[in-house]
């Protein structure tokens, strides 16, 4: 287990450098002048432009800029500072990340609470009305674009029924319930079908037949023998979903006006504030890689048959 953890950690290093380099190059190759964008239609004085270029190494080749940036991250944990506000990107991220994490975590929790029971019931009633009905419902949910689902939920439960806040985070955790539920609705369908298929495959295993032959009740077969192993691919999907949502809640945060990391990235694009975009994206890459590492290590806890060493 320890050897596998070390190998997986070492594999993260090249992935991190490749991902951050691609992000850095794409952002800085976007059309437009990042310095001029901070001044709008006003002319940038030459001495001010020179100060910006020297301070942020904008007059250097792209590979030199990347080295200056990545060395600051590795040796100083410095993710740069905003061109627009001169605030450290780390402070901007730490201020907005808890909101995104709250939204993504609540969405994954709702997804698990809905998808796992539906998948289990569908597997235990394979071919019956519940299984067929859940298939139809999940296909319908998969066909609806997420932004449409979010807008409908906002209109019905926020504007019409006034059960949830329409936008902002003034009501604390209650402000996150509706957008998190909207995200969970759009991602739950795939997880429910995966739970169903995984549990059906697990029921075919020899140790399940042995447990039944020994007189174990169906409840015990499910809870002790089948569910634990069937949950392995589901846990993987939930972990990947959490990592993806942490960096991909831009649409949701925009619709519900939640000032998370996605909201900060969107706000930085028109002003060409590249250090905010690159810095936050880099931190999200680190978070995503760590979440995937944790999910991989959880395999051994769920299934003792898995041996990494």
**What pTM does this model have?**
0.80
The answer to which of 1-10, 225-234, 254-263, 273-282 has the lowest mean pLDDT is: 1-10
| Residue tagged 């998370």 (tokens) | 260
Q: How far apart are CA 77 and CA 81, in angstroms?
A: 12
Which pLDDT score, from 0 to 100, does residue 109 have? 92
Q: How buried is residue 29: exposed, middle or buried, by Cβ count under 10 Å (0-12/13-18/19+)?
A: exposed
Q: How far apart are CA 129 and CA 135, in angstroms?
A: 10
What's CA 131's distance to the chain center, in Å?
29
Q: How far apart are the first and last CA of the chain?
A: 6
Q: What is the pLDDT of residues 288-308, one digit of tens each?
A: 888 888 877 776 666 555 554
Domain limits, the chain: 1-309
Which pLDDT score, from 0 to 100, does residue 1 have? 62
Instruction: Quickly state the pLDDT bin for 232 (edges 50, 70, 90).
Output: confident
For residue 186, pLDDT over 60 is answered with yes
Q: 3 or 104: whose pLDDT is higher?
A: 104
Q: How far apart are CA 233 and CA 220, in angstroms?
A: 21
Task: Round the average pLDDT of the chain to a whole number and report it.
Answer: 83
Interval 189-215 mean pLDDT: 84
Instruction: Quickly state the pLDDT bin for 7 (edges 50, 70, 90).
Output: confident
Residue 123 — left, alpha, or beta (φ > 0 → left; ψ -120 to 50 → alpha)? alpha
Interval 20-45 mean pLDDT: 80
Interval 253-271 mean pLDDT: 84
- Per-residue buried b or exposed e for 123-150, using 16+ beta carbons within 10 Å of the residue's own CB: bbeeeeeebeebeeebeebeeeebeebb
| Helix, strand, coil content of the chain in percent (nearest 5) | 75, 0, 25
The CATH class given to the 1-309 domain equals: mainly alpha
Q: What is the pLDDT of residues 107-161, one digit of tens each?
A: 999 999 999 999 989 988 888 888 888 888 888 888 888 888 888 888 999 888 8
Which pLDDT score, from 0 to 100, does residue 300 have? 60
Q: How far apart are CA 131 and CA 110, in angstroms?
A: 21
């Amino acid at each position: 287990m320890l050897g596998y953890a070390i190998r997986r950690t070492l594999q993260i290093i090249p992935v991190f450098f490749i991902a951050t380099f691609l992000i850095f190059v794409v952002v800085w190759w976007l059309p437009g002048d990042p310095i001029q964008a901070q001044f709008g239609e006003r002319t940038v004085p030459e001495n001010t432009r020179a100060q910006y270029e020297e301070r942020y190494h904008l007059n250097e080749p792209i590979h030199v800029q990347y080295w200056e940036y990545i060395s600051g991250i590795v040796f100083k944990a410095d993710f740069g500072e905003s061109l627009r506000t001169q605030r450290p990107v780390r402070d901007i991220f730490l201020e907005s990340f808890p909101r995104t994490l709250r939204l993504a975590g609540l969405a994954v929790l709702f997804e698990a609470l809905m998808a796992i029971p539906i998948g289990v019931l569908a597997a235990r009633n394979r071919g019956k009305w519940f299984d067929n009905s859940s298939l139809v419902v999940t296909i319908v949910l998969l066909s609806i674009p997420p932004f449409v689902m979010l807008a409908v939920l906002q209109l019905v439960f926020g504007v019409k029924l006034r059960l949830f806040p329409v936008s902002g985070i003034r009501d604390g955790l209650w402000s996150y319930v509706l957008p998190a539920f909207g995200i969970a609705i759009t991602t739950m369908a795939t997880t429910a079908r995966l739970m169903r298929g995984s549990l059906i495959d697990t029921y075919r295993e020899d140790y399940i037949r042995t447990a039944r032959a020994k007189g174990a009740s169906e409840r015990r077969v499910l809870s002790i023998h089948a569910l634990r192993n069937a949950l392995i691919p589901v846990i993987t999907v939930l972990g990947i979903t959490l990592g993806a949502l942490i960096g991909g809640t831009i649409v949701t945060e925009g619709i519900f006006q939640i000032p998370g990391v996605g909201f900060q990235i969107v706000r930085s694009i028109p002003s060409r504030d590249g250090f905010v975009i690159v810095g936050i994206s880099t931190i999200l890459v680190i978070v995503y890689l760590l979440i995937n590492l944790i999910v991989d290590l959880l395999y051994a806890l769920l299934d003792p048959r898995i041996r990494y060493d």
